[in-house]
Structure 1
Amino acid sequence: MSETAVLEIVELADGEVILRPAEGEGEPLLRIRFSEEAAGLLRESRFEVAREMIDHAITRTTLWEGEREEASVPETVH
């Protein structure tokens, strides 16, 4: 049986949003830092936008599977 990683998304005091193991040990797996301009535009939505970015990275890519599949190119049929 494979182990399941428990991860958490945390917004740090400096505004940086990180993805890390729930135990909070070691380096974060992912860091998102918004520019001052972007943070100003997003205001209170900053964390939600970062969460959606992380969700996209996990669910719509093979980033966390440890291997990347080659993208298949469809053949052109005339």
Structure 2
Amino acid sequence: MSDTAVLEIVELNDGEIVLRHAEGEGEPLLRINFSEEAGELLRQSRFEVAREMIDHAITRSKLWQEESEELEVPATMH
């Protein structure tokens, strides 16, 4: 068994975008909510913007610096 964390980015039915374990168990690690105005401005780009925000946090954060080499974050949209 591998110690590699497999995470996924998912847009939920209510429009919230979350980063969670691929198994979908437990609370999301991160939640992104756009205001109604921002959602209207971004339209179909909301998911891509959220994905870039998460990518930036993972690759630039000292908190996840050691883990970032091991994390796999597939772009999954449901």
User: Normalised by the size of structure 1, how large is the TM-score?
Assistant: 0.78
List gaps (5 residues or longer) in structure 1: 67-78
Larger Rg: 1
RMSD: 1.4
By how many angstroms is 1:39 displaced? 0.2
Identity %: 80
How do 1:1-78 and structure 2 match up within 5 A?
Answer: 3-65=3-65
The 3-state SS of whatever aligns with 1:63 is coil
By how many angstroms is 1:52 displaced? 0.1
User: Normalised by the size of structure 2, how large is the TM-score?
Assistant: 0.78
Query: After TM superposition, where is structure 1 displaced by more than 6 Å over at least 4 residues in a row?
Result: none
Tell me which of the two structures has the higher relative contact order, counting C-alpha pairs closer than 8 angstroms and 6 or more residues apart: 2
List gaps (5 residues or longer) in structure 2: 67-78
By how many angstroms is 1:3 displaced? 1.1
**How many residue pairs align between the two structures?**
65
